[in-house]
Amino acid sequence: MSSVPINHPGHTIEWHLPSKRRVGMSALITGESAIFTIFVAAYVFYMGKSLTGPTPQQILEVPIVGTICLLLSSLAIYRAEKAIEEERMASFTLWLAATITLGAVFLIETTLEWKKLIYQDGLTISTNLFGTTFYSLVGLHATHVVVGLFLLSATFVFSLFGWVDSRQSERFGVIALYWHFVDAVWIVVFTVVYLIGR
């Protein structure tokens, strides 16, 4: 079939296509964005419509440390990406560990926040509309952080065994893309839940 058509002028066309993994991940991110949009829309729609307390004004505290950590983790994974592309494996492992630590700090702060909300303030998912929408939206995001941490930790373990090198840089780039998305979503969630909704 490469002979179709035989007498075409000017052979050897330049042919470059985008990486299928990046395209696939971008498509997944588009779909995920739609899921988050619906949950954010529900949160905004139900803002201030709870029939009973507690309200966000009374009990919500701004998670500054976790937010800074999560945003910094995007920077860390960017450095890890650069390192793996340039075959600096020790640096890669280090930056990867930093990313995981920063993500874990974020999760720990969320856990402590939820513990306080549940045990001290008595807010559960079934208390009122605020509880329902808050735990769903923040929980959905936290689930994505957990998935990301799982992917990153697996890569970290592999790199400790020395199984990762620059040949995997494209695949690692896909994980990094996902992680950047998780961080970007947090900016939206943070703005809606802790800045506008409080």
Partner 1 sequence: MSNYSLSVSATIEPSATASELGTFLERLHGWVVTVDHKRLGILYILYSTFFLLIAGAEALLIRLQLAYPHNHVLSAQVYNRFFTMHGTTMVFLVGMPFLFGFANYIVPLQIGARDMAFPRLNAFSFWLTAFGGLLLYYSFLGGAGLYGVGNAPDVGWFAYAPLTERSFSPGHATDYWALALIVSGFGTLGTAINIIATVISMRCKGMTLMRMPLFTWLLLIVSMLTLVTITPLTAAQFMLLIDRYLGGHFFDTQAGGSSLIWIHFFWIFGHPEVYVLVLPAFAIANEIIPVFSRKAIFGYPAMVSASVAIMFVSLGVWAHHMFTVGMTSVSNAFFTLSTMMVGVPTGIKIFNWIATLWGGRIRFTTPMLFCIGFLFQFLISGLTGIMLSVSPWDWQLHNSYFVIAHFHYVLVGAIVFCIFAAIYYWYPKATGRLMDETLGRWHFWLFVIGFHITFDTMHFLGLLGMPRSIYTYQPDRGWNLLNLVVSIGGLIQGIAVLIFAYNFIVSYWRGKVAGDDPWDAWTLEWATSSPPPVYNFEELPEVHSRRPLWDLKHPDDPDWEYES
Q: Which residues bind partner 1 (CB under 8 A)?
A: 1-8, 13, 15, 17-21, 23-24, 27-28, 30-35, 37-39, 42, 45-46, 49-51, 125-126, 128-129, 132-133, 136
Residues 6 or more apart in contact with residue 58 via CB below 8 angstroms? 121
Q: Whole-number minimum distance, CB 104 to partner 1, in Å?
A: 26
Q: Whole-number minimum distance, CB 180 to partner 1, in Å?
A: 18
Residue whose CB is less far from partner 1, 134 or 190:
134
Is there a contact between 81 and 174 (Cβ–Cβ < 8 Å)? no
C-alpha to C-alpha distance for 160 and 25, rounded to whole angstroms: 26
Residues 6 or more apart in contact with residue 137 via CB below 8 angstroms? 39, 40, 42, 43, 189, 192, 193
Q: Whole-number minimum distance, CB 29 to partner 1, in Å?
A: 9
Q: What is the C-alpha radius of gyration for the chain, rounded to an integer number of angstroms? A: 22
Q: Whole-number minimum distance, CB 33 to partner 1, in Å?
A: 8
Residue whose CB is less far from partner 1, 43 or 92:
43
